Amino acid sequence: MVTLSGAHTIGQAQCFTFRGRIYNNASDIDAGFARTRQRGCPSLSTTANNQKLAALDLVTPNSFDNNYFKNLIQKKGLLQSDQVLFSGGSTDSIVSEYSKNPTTFKSDFAAAMIKMGDIAPLTGSAGIIRSICSAAN
């Protein structure tokens, strides 16, 4: 999962998905990074503000690279689900390795994508389509 999360080196997130993270003064986010992100995501929750987009990676937003992992080490993960990958747990060593070795990250990412592509989901009457993505029917 750490490897596939590296896809967040490109892309954007809507403000409502990270507002709590940048305004809660937590110890797992760089204060300067939070202030920078607050400028693009006002604290007031309105439809317009919630839909504002922010690049997941400020440094190289359009490059598939290992900067995502470097950001996590610096406590600059935009999404909480990303930052938790480098929070003193079992995945710290993987994040550290990928931050230092872009070739390893890209190779592992390619292998993980191939593996994921081989998953044979149930289809037709054998499968179930969730009515609500976050809950089982």
H helices of 51-124, where? 67-73, 80-83, 92-100, 102-117
8 is in an annotated binding site: yes
Structure tokens at 86: 């480098």
Task: Provide the residue count of the chain.
Answer: 137
C-alpha span between 77 and 57 (Å, rounded): 8
57 is annotated as contributing to ligand binding: yes
| 82 annotated to a ligand binding site | no
> DSSP class of residue 13?
E
State yes or no: 9 annotated in a binding site.
yes
Distance between CA 23 and CA 10 in Å, rounded? 23
Binding-site positions for heme b read 8
Binding-site positions for Ca(2+) read 9, 57, 60, 65
Binding-site positions read 8-9, 57, 60, 65
